[in-house]
Structure 1
């Protein structure tokens, strides 16, 4: 089976409901076949270990970026990671084809329901990840698309226990779909 790299870019994964459960389900399913890198735990000071991250990418066949969308953007730690890691001589340039052919997919969560991401007013999910897609394509990676779980904002003392259970069920079902997609890519 292909080697899987999961980049978790939630700024506080332990307090998340949906992202935490998605990562947990992926970890339980793939076990040692997947390496999970929790950027905010590894780099709370944003001082990214470029060599370690590039090595993780080189060792992988499939890369999943898992993160919540904030204000129609990925979290700042992921943006910093992309800027630090996808550099000349590694990701592009005459000697920079080391990521060529690696499969990249994005999995993101949003607080608002899906209908907020279908119209002209707020755009769509593909538009929100356009910069990530273009960066991947510039690095000759094989773009595999974006998968989004919408409407999973949970705020304690603001939402009910039923809301929490609903979000947990959605996250687990979404993780199963992601697992299926990754397994297809790995075969």
Structure 2
């Protein structure tokens, strides 16, 4: 699933703790691998020991114009290795803050699945919130780095999706990758300026420890 060559186009960061049991994400990765100009990095295959090669990951992101975050939603967020990737790769002075801004102007696209159906993400159902309520951490991560957060591609109810629904979803994903950046909706999305982070708020500059 992992391609280590560099690409100036689309980078897919794929993270699934158990690909053998994946009904949808594995199909999406396979569909993406057949699209020219797409680089797929399977984080769990690359880093089974969670020892992330930060310079390699930064090079891969720096070479891309579209960064795709592909993963199942777990506990209303991303898998653990993906969170570690964010912690270690998106560093101050590179991704954001003084002397940062390497990611400024790039696009980021969340492509994710949920086990529960869309109807479960409702104030009157067991997830209690519309799914959009769980997106701010993704949106603000993009904004901090000056990246444009594109409308997510979601498949809700992945546990019970039919084979046809999964095949159709994978086809939509592949088609979108092939046509990027000629997406009509992008004309109405403004680029996001990087958030200004005061020097006093930079890591290691605050008194005491958190």
Under TM normalisation by the shorter chain, which class is it?
A: 0.7 to 0.9
Report how many aligned residue pairs link the two structures: 174
Q: How does 1:26-175 map to 2 (within 5 A)?
A: 26-28=32-34, 30-31=35-36, 33-119=37-123, 121=125, 122=127, 123-153=129-159, 166=162, 168-175=163-170
By how many angstroms is 1:14 displaced? 3.0
By how many angstroms is 1:117 displaced? 1.7
CA contact 2:32–2:177 (8 Å) conserved in 1: no
Name the counterpart of 1:23: 29
Alignment counterpart, residue 179 of structure 1, candidates 159, 174, 177: 174
CA contact 1:125–1:146 (8 Å) conserved in 2: no
| Distance (whole Å) between structure 1 residues aligned to residue 31 and residue 102 of structure 2 | 29
User: Greater CA radius of gyration, 1 or 2?
Assistant: 2
Which whole-Å deviations, capped at 9, do the CAs of 1:68-123 have from their partners, x for residues lacking one? 01121111111111111111011111211000011101011011111012436522
CA contact 1:22–1:172 (8 Å) conserved in 2: no
Name the counterpart of 1:157: none
Gapped runs of 5+ residues in structure 1? 155-162
Alignment counterpart, residue 11 of structure 2, candidates 2, 5, 19: 5
Structure-1-length-normalised TM-score: 0.85
More helix by share: 1
Q: Indicate the larger mover: 114-123 or 138-147.
A: 114-123
CA contact 2:8–2:63 (8 Å) conserved in 1: no
RMSD over aligned Cα, in angstroms? 1.9
Name the counterpart of 2:189: none
| Distance (whole Å) between structure 2 residues aligned to residue 15 and residue 173 of structure 1 | 19
Matched position secondary structure for 2:99: coil
Name the counterpart of 2:192: none
